[in-house]
Structure 1
Amino acid sequence: MPTDQRDQRDQRDRRALLADAAIDLLAEEGMRALTHRAVDARAGVPLGSTSAYFRTRQALLTAIVKRLSDLDREDLRRRGLDLPSAGAKPRQPITDDLDAVAAATAAFIDLSLSHTRNRALARYHCRLESITQPDLRALLTPHEEAAFRQTRELLARHGAPDLDARARAFVAAVDGLIFERLVSGSPSAAGTTENRAELTATVRALLAGATAH
């Protein structure tokens, strides 16, 4: 591999390392704890490394949001719920099988409550911060709109009325389900077959309501 390509890959890897450390720090200690020095310590890199890559706090928050969106998109793609990047179309439509959609969505929710819990928590911290930071809001919006467009497309294929309202209601319900269980916990332990089954039944009921004529 040419030296310049290797250097570019190394820089991408270092940026990802720092963004992942910032996500964990934000999730576990909150927005006030998010400083360049704290990210350096969490990542185990020399002091000043984070500020060299992300010179301002806004740049660091931007890196967190982009990293969260990229990781979420990859997790969804693996489950057949591919969300496009901003301005792009999905590589293929998601399945019309509502049971399969419910199972895949439940698996993603369960992942957000277990293995990728820190990412989910960090995302909500960023969303709250975006209330007073329009630039951050602008970064979050494309990912949220992609979920809306994908849901709207699914509902349209099932002939559902009031597509915009129902698609936004479904996305909000799924988002609220994740948030509520992150905050208050779930009757079933996250990461278990029982929890995924419970979530699947809940999401399937939401889909039934969204597609009802």
Structure 2
Amino acid sequence: MSVRSAGTPRTELIADTALALLTERGMRGLTHRAVDEAAGLPQGSTSNHARTRLALLETVVRRQAEREAVVLDPDELPDPAGGREALIASLALAVHRYLSGDFRQLLVSRYELALEATRRPELRAYYDAAGAQFREPLTAMLRAAGSKDPERHTLTLVAWTDGLLFTCVAGTYHATVPSEQDLRAGFRELLRGMLG
């Protein structure tokens, strides 16, 4: 398991370690004691930071959102004036990054958190708020690309993208990483169908 360097502030170390444990061991393997042990911290450190199971899960959701936000740097987001091709290029770049390298593990932890949020209403609100920060810019980009129904098109685009990511990480194509060119072709076809 890789966690951040020893010079990292303790709260980030706890969050990164908890996220890594969630990816490696699943929800049952994520405990306060396991985080302390994996991070090399004195027993009780994680409990001091996140007293309850819910607080620990909220810490993980927050860190998940922070880590996912760097998949596509804000400077790489398309200028709405760039039109549909700029949007396609950005989406393909982000998905390709998710499916290659270290970002792939973030998808595993995201699936674990999504399933847990279906069982815990108190986590659901926190999880949904974290997800909204990604959906809202996408809706704005679709509106700028000419969508007549950007909310519905956002749902379609997110569902298609999430399905692709799941299939290539945990599904029957788990060993497949589509090329960025193939991803562009897929997004182009999808957007053509939605936007005309």
TM-score, normalised with respect to structure 1: 0.78
Q: Residue 163 of structure 2 corresponds to which residue in structure 1?
A: 176
Cα offset, 1:189, TM superposition: 4.9
Residue 160 of structure 1 and its aligned partner are, at CA, apart by 2.2
- Which residue of 3, 17, 34 corresponds with 1:21? 17
Structure-2 separation of matches of 1:73 and 1:95? 22
Match of 1:198 among 182, 188, 194: 182
CA distance in 2, matches of 1:95, 1:21: 41
**CA 1:138 to 1:66, structure 2 compared with 1: closer, same or farther past 3 Å?**
same
RMSD (Å) for aligned C-alpha atoms: 2.5
Native 8 Å contact 1:76 1:108 kept in 2: yes
Could you tell me how far apart the structure 2 residues matched to 1:40 and 1:154 are? Answer: 42
Name the residue aligned to 1:108.
94
Tell me the distance in 2 between the aligned counterparts of 1:73 and 1:12.
19
Distance 1:94 1:63, change over 3 A: farther
Q: Deviations over 1:111-159 (max 9, x none)?
A: 2223212221111101110012122111121232333322222222233
**Alignment partners' CA distance in 2, 1:34 and 1:142:** 22
The aligned residue for residue 209 of structure 1 is 193
Q: 2:52 maps to which residue?
A: 56
Q: Identity rate of aligned residues, in percent? A: 34
Identify if the C-alpha distance between structure 1 residues 45 and 69 changes in structure 2 by more than 3 Å, giving closer, same or farther. same
Q: Is the Cα–Cα contact under 8 Å of residues 25 and 33 in structure 1 kept in the other structure?
A: yes
- Residue 134 of structure 1: aligned partner: 121
Cα distance in 1 between the residues matched to 2:18 and 2:80? 32
Query: Residue 36 of structure 1 contacts residue 50 of structure 1 at CA under 8 Å; is this kept in 2?
Result: yes
Do 1:96 and 1:157's aligned partners in 2 also have CA atoms closer than 8 Å?
Answer: no
In the alignment, does 2:29 pair up with 1:43?
no
* Alignment gaps of 5+ in structure 2: 1-5
Asked if 2 retains the 8 angstrom alpha-carbon contact of 1:27 and 1:118, the reply is yes
Q: Which residue of 2 is the match for residue 120 of structure 1?
A: 107
- Could you tell me how far apart the structure 1 residues matched to 2:33 and 2:128 are? 29
AA aligned opposite 1:14: R
- Under a length normalisation based on structure 2, what TM-score does the superposition of the two structures give? 0.84
Superposed CA deviations along residues 44-99 of structure 1, whole A, max 9, x for unmatched, are 222222112111111110000001112222332346239xxxxxxxxxx6553322
1:187 Cα deviation after fit: 8.1
Q: Is the 8 A contact 1:106 1:203 kept in 2?
A: yes
Deviation of the 1:185 alpha carbon: 5.7
Partner amino acid for 2:38? R
Structure 2 CA distance for aligned equivalents of residues 201 and 40 of structure 1 = 45
